[in-house]
Amino acid sequence: MFNYIQRHFDLQVGVASLLLSIIGVLSVYSATFDAHAMGIFSKQMYWMILGTVIMAVIALLPFRFLQSLSWIAYFSSIFLLVIVLLLGRTVSGSTSWFNLGAFRIQPSEFAKISTVLALASYLSRSDVSLQTPRDLLTAVAIVAVPVGLILLQPDFGTTVIYAGMFFAVLFWGGASRFTLLAIVAPLACAAAALISTTLFLIAVAVFGILIFITKENRLVAAVVFSLMVLLGISVQVIYDGLRPYQQKRIDTFLNPNADPLGAGYNSLQSRVAIGSGGLLGKGFLRGSQTQLNFIPEQWTDFIFCVPGEEFGFTGAATVLVLFAVLLLRGVTLSSIVKSKYASYAAIGVTAILATHVCLNIGMALGLLPVIGVPLPFLSYGGSSMLANTTMIGILMNLYTNRKEY
């Protein structure tokens, strides 16, 4: 019996995601225990149970049927992203939500999955190659459409997830070094320009040399270099066009101590909470930062502080190890499946989860700006939980059908 289960179900993915979900539910319970928000815990339990059912259903779907849903899911998600701009609810400055009675649904969470599936379906075609400019631009367009709609909400955090996913898929698909550099260089120069002019000039010089070393042709190299410089120079204009709360998040990241009681409060308190946990932590429901509500709505973006404070380095390390098992298993699955579609889908889903983990924990540790990215399986949120369990269901389905072509 056990051998049958081991052959047909990816136990590492299933067990790691289940343990993370349990840690998440306990963390949400602790974070809401003295915050008069126990309804949050009840909803999270509901979403976890529903998500587990959805994960099981997706895992058991016929592989060809799952593949056939790719484009239907993609165009449906595009439709929902348009509708939410017109009829959605605005929360924290972003029009990203549908109200469904006592619950809210965020279509952009599910659009990430459908975009991966559509991208996998396109790139797995025998007549498509990332070395061909037309095919590469088509792949860019598949990702650019939902990203453009999400930017209109605006939701910058989710668009960063798309960037991480797309870069991973291109790398996995054998895109040239120049193509990958052409994606990274403008973004890196823009980020450097936010910090200082000197750093921007250094970034331009370094990436400029790399671009012309790896150039595919001089004209394209010149275009990429020009884009890199123009984007860096225009950073201030882009910054001025951001909403005030978005500007504060950037300013806080660059100098958290500038406004310790305002925009930098959450970031500073998060580091205090994690650092105060020590080796073994203060014990479940005994974290001072958590139970005294020093971090507002800690059950969302800063949930990593709870295991970090209450179970110390041991608790935080356990969470990281479980994520490492899950992500490494996703990469391994991408390399052992026979189908090109399955390989692209697996690496895309894994990249989404990996980008979420890196950004959220980076936020909690003060290493990255706060951009509103939840931690998979731990942060409170129905859309996030259902999207994460859906992705786990996809990975398990691909493992079961790993010998399919």
Residue ranges of domains in the chain: 21-400
Q: Is the pLDDT of residue 159 over 80?
A: yes
pTM tops 0.75: yes
Which range of 2-6, 154-158, 362-366 scores highest in mean pLDDT? It is 362-366
- What local confidence, expressed as pLDDT, does residue 93 receive? 65
The long-range contacts involving 243-248, CB below 8 angstroms and separated by at least 24 positions, are 243/93, 243/154, 245/92, 245/93, 246/93, 246/156
Question: What's the gap between Cα 255 and its chain centre?
Answer: 24
* 394's tokens: 């996809």
| Calpha distance 399→332 (Å, rounded) | 10
* 136's tokens: 């590469």
What does the pLDDT look like over 260-298, one tens digit per residue?
Answer: 555 556 667 777 778 777 888 888 877 766 655 656 667
Longest dimension (CA), the chain: 63
| Calpha distance 162→143 (Å, rounded) | 7
Q: Is 366 left (phi over 0), alpha (psi -120 to 50) or beta?
A: left
| Calpha distance 217→219 (Å, rounded) | 6
Per the model's pLDDT, the better-predicted residue between 196 and 113 turns out to be: 113
Strands (E), 65-153: 89-91, 94-100, 103-105
What does the pLDDT look like over 187-222, one tens digit per residue?
Answer: 788 878 877 788 888 888 888 888 888 876 778 888
pLDDT band per the 50, 70, 90 thresholds, residue 371: confident
| Calpha distance 353→164 (Å, rounded) | 10
* Nearby residues of 101 by Cβ (< 8 Å), 6 or more positions away: none
- What local confidence, expressed as pLDDT, does residue 161 receive? 92
Q: Which residues pair with 98 in a beta bridge?
A: 105
Do residues 123 and 336 make contact, with C-beta atoms less than 8 angstroms apart?
no
What does the pLDDT look like over 299-321, one tens digit per residue?
Answer: 778 889 889 888 989 999 999 99
Helix axes 107-123, 340-364, angle to 10 degrees: 140
Phi, psi torsion values for 186, nearest 5 degrees: -60, -40
Q: Is the pLDDT of residue 36 over 80?
A: no
The DSSP call for residue 88 is: P
Q: Which amino acid is at 123?
A: L
